[in-house]
């Protein structure tokens, strides 16, 4: 994969194999942390905090919720592509 904006220089993330290695490393670390949740005692305030994988699932669903909320907000905050290039006549 060649990026037309880097003057022919190839970087290590331009190689799709390196990107896949990073993704798999992230999957392995997250899975390990999820499983490790079963092996320590939790001092919880709410009952739900003691459930297996609660914080991992909570973080995942809140992240998905933020993305969905951003898509809704985009409808209200979106501006034309040339919004800042328009001449306001105040020169």
Task: Label residue 60 by pLDDT band (50, 70, 90).
Answer: very high
Q: State the average pLDDT over residues 10-17.
A: 90
Share of the chain above pLDDT 90, in %: 57
Q: Given pLDDT bands bounded at 50, 70 and 90, which one contains residue 6?
A: low
Domain assignments of the chain as residue spans, ordered by start = 12-77
**Burial class (CB within 10 angstroms; exposed 0-12, middle 13-18, buried 19+) of 51:** middle
CA dihedral angle for residue 48, residue 31, residue 29, residue 50, rounded to 10 degrees: 20
Question: Residue 30: is its pLDDT beyond 80?
Answer: yes
Q: Which residues contact 53 (CB under 8 A, 6 or more apart)?
A: 34, 37
Q: What is the dihedral of CA 28, 34, 70, 68, to 10 degrees?
A: 100
Give this prediction's pTM.
Answer: 0.62
Distance CA 14, CA 5 (A): 12
The pLDDT of residue 80 is: 85
């Amino acid at each position: 994969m060649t990026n037309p904006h880097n003057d022919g220089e190839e970087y290590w993330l331009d190689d799709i194999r390196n990107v896949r290695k990073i993704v798999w490393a992230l999957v392995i670390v997250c899975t390990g942390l999820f499983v490790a949740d079963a092996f320590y005692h939790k001092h919880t305030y709410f009952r739900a905090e003691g459930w297996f994988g609660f914080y991992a699932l909570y973080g995942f669903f809140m992240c998905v919720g933020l993305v969905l909320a951003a898509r809704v907000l985009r409808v209200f905050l979106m501006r034309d592509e040339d919004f800042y290039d328009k001449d306001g006549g105040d020169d």
